Amino acid sequence: MSNTTTMVFLDSGDPAETRRAINLLGKIDGQTTNPSLVVKNPEVSKFLTDGKKFSESELLDIYKKIILEIREEMDGPLSVEVNASWDSTWEDLLRQAESMSAWTSNINIKFPTTNAGVKAAQEFIACGGRVNMTLVFDQTQAAAVYVATQKTQEPAFISPFMGRWDDRGFAGVDLVGNIRKMYDAFNAKRNVDTNHVKILAASIRTMDHLYASLALGADILTIPLTTIEQWLAEGKKIPGAEYVVDRKGLKAIEYQELELKENISEYDIVRTEGTLLDEGLKKFAADWNSLLE
């Protein structure tokens, strides 16, 4: 986009919103989708309102149809999410990824950043796949993603979720800044100056989130149409060097000094009831299940 090197993705499962965003901005750099957004798609919503449900194959067919319609509108990276839960094995996630990636060009598969998801992503990348690691809430997850994606042929994406930290009383924007700082340190240790993982700021709920993400070094913003409209109404401002992040009285997320390790297995992503990762994964699974017979 003009005036900034940060890319702008639309966060939506509705091709009509893709067209609207392009009309407003002139272009969008990509688009992210997920089960929650598929539920909101007008075609799917009407189907559910009529009291109908999908078989698994029917649901995948309609998801593919939506993705192909979006692809007709824009040719940037297009994120598609696998159906995952805590019980998903990496082999199951990989099988889904291989099928979904064949739908159209430039698909980034959204794996949950669990131990199984990170392993699946590493295997998928080894076969030339593109990934967007989602449901990221801490630096341990981000470190595992960094290690797992070092051999990616195309930049990998990582999606830290800010808004849900705000709900817990912490400044979610700190997660973006902490990951940026850690990745820069990892790059320096490896003596590389190219980021093989692009930080995709997600769960952007306010203009403060948007401006802080730009200021803190996010490579990509993924934002809903309403946020694009509000940004334009505010003149599509880009924060300068003088910008000060306003945490609105929320607690800071403290930076952790994590070592760059050799293997993904050295970063254990613990399953703990009630954590943001636990809640997020269960919600995404529930959205998929709400559509199935």
Q: Whole-angstrom Cα distance, residue 40 to residue 17?
A: 12
Q: Which of 280, 38, 75, 10 is nearest to 167 (CA)?
A: 280
Catalytic residue among 27, 40, 53, 110: 110
In sequence order, the β-bridge partners of residue 111 are 133
Q: Whole-angstrom Cα distance, residue 55 to residue 232?
A: 40
Active site residue 198: no
Left, alpha or beta for 51 (phi > 0: left; psi -120 to 50: alpha)? left
Q: Whole-angstrom Cα distance, residue 92 to residue 111?
A: 11
CA distances for 218 relative to 182, 214, 225, angstroms: 13, 6, 19
Token digits for 225?
């149409």
Q: Whole-angstrom Cα distance, residue 237 to residue 231?
A: 7
User: Residues 114, 281: contact at Cβ < 8 Å?
Assistant: yes
> Using alpha carbons only, how large is the chain's radius of gyration in Å?
18
CA distances for 205 relative to 119, 172, 231, 239, angstroms: 30, 11, 12, 17
Active-site positions read 110
